[in-house]
Structure 1
Amino acid sequence: MDLDLAPTVTEVARVVRGVRDDQLAAPTPCTDMSVAALLDHLDGLALAFRLAAEKAPPGGAPQPSAEKLTPDWRTRIPARLESLAAAWREPGAWDGETEVGGVQMPGEAAGLVGLNEVLVHGWDLAVATGQAYAADPVAAQACVDLVQDFAVAAPEARDEIYGPVVPVPGEAPVLDRLLGAAGRDPGWTPR
């Protein structure tokens, strides 16, 4: 498959840098996760999926926590996201087997899951902080296909990872279709 993660990580890094300190406690579309906890999650998943691309031994997968967000998050998370994209451009990243989050999977699957995580959580962060979000349409379509295939192949696992499917018209923009398939309301706004 060999998708380029660069357009997605560039957009998400822009959103990360646009988060204000007074927004860190704000809610996000991720149930029970504040902006700060979501930033911590992005930080951790960028590292985990980079290691998966490198076929490096993974570290633990700690729970996201607002309290664990490092003071240098505005520079650290974008740098980790850029490293993530670079790792998936390396020869062999999409080949063979790898591990992420304690789960063995083909490299191609890990790359798609990582892309999906970054793309969807980038949107979560953008809407939670009132920022525009321009998803790469090629990446968004690959993620729609991934989420729909996952729902068919492993419906129980899908339901554990995502919220209930939010119905979205078939002619809706690809990002909206992805969000609905991933259990998000494309019209979500902070309360």
Structure 2
Amino acid sequence: MTTPAFDMEAAATAVETVVSGVTEADFERRTPSEITVRDMLAHVLSFTEGFRQGATKEAIGRSQPPGPAPLAPDWRERIPAQLKALVAAWREPEAWVGETEVGGVLAPAPQMAIFALDELVIHGWDLARATGQPYSPAQEDLAVLLGFLRDTPREGIPGLFGPVIDIPAEAPLLDRVVGLTGRDPAWAAT
């Protein structure tokens, strides 16, 4: 039986904490991803369900690439519930076996799990920065992401990551991970 390589609970809890601090007054603020907080919350709703389905493999052959969607009125209740469901789904050993599909992309399940972790950590950071909240993801999660992102091409990956921002090796791990996704760790809301 396959043992999950890592657990997503710490990352999901960090996102839930940030989301709980978001107010409607924050909705039009820009995030480091150049979308509004409202649109980022809608994205969180989308990817948490998409990657939960990736763990259960229920969407193989049926998933669609993500697109813009309005923010559901019950986002404040749904995001925490979907985060918990995502964590639970990836705790099942079967989630890590074979291939799965998320957003119209078929890939090995362990790779999809890393994509899910990346979405949690990076978009948690995006929301925290946009709303001026503290954010401290687990060092273990950042180490997984550093290994995953280490070979990102300098020019980035269109549609996923902007051009890599050089961050000194002695910088905090979060700053190095964020820089590999094309985000400036010094970014602050204006």
- TM class, shorter-chain normalised? over 0.9
1:90 matched to 2:92: yes
Q: 1:2 and 1:34, CA in 2 relative to 1: closer, same or farther beyond 3 A?
A: same
Ranges in structure 1 where 5+ consecutive residues have no aligned partner: none
2:65 to 61, 64, 68: 61
The secondary structure found in structure 1 opposite 2:93 is coil
Deviation at 1:75, TM superposition (A): 1.2
TM-score w.r.t. length of structure 1: 0.92
Count of residues in correspondence between the two structures: 185
Q: Secondary structure at the match of 1:105?
A: strand
Q: Counterparts of 2:77 and 2:161 in 1: how far apart (Å)? A: 29
Matches within 5 A, 1:111-122: 111-122=113-124
Give how far 1:3 is off. Answer: 0.6
> How far, CA to CA, are the matches of 1:157 and 1:168 in structure 2?
15
Name the residue aligned to 1:109. 111
- The answer as to whether partners of 1:120 and 1:179 remain within 8 angstroms in 2 is yes
Partner of 1:92: helix, strand, or coil? helix
Q: How far is the alpha carbon of 1:102 from its aligned partner?
A: 0.8
Which residue is 1:38 aligned to? Answer: 40
Within 5 Å, give how 1:129-140 maps onto structure 2.
129-140=131-142
> 1:181 is matched with which residue?
180
Instruction: State TM-score, norm by structure 2.
Output: 0.92
Contact 1:38 1:64 in 2 (8 A): no
Residues 165 and 182, structure 2, Cα contact 8 Å, conserved in 1: yes
- Please give the secondary structure, in 2, of the residue aligned with 1:99: strand
Alignment of 1:131-150 (within 5 A): 131-149=133-151
Counterpart residue number, 1:3 = 6
2-structure distance, mates of 1:79, 1:175: 26
Deviating beyond 4 angstroms after TM superposition, the runs of 4 or more aligned structure 1 residues are: none
Percent identity between matched residues is 42
SS in 2 for 1:47: helix
Q: 2:65 is matched by which residue type in structure 1?
A: A
Three-state SS of the structure 1 residue aligned to 2:126 is helix
Tell me the SS of whatever aligns to 1:158: coil
Distance 2:110 2:119 in 1: 14
| Offset, 1:131 | 0.5
Show structure 2 runs of 5+ residues with no match. Answer: none
Give the CA deviation at 1:157: 7.2
Quickly say closer, same or farther: Cα 1:157–1:27, change in 2 above 3 A: closer
Other-structure match for 1:22: 25
Residue in structure 1 matched with residue 82 of structure 2 by the alignment? 80
- Read off the aligned partner of 1:171 and give its amino acid letter: E
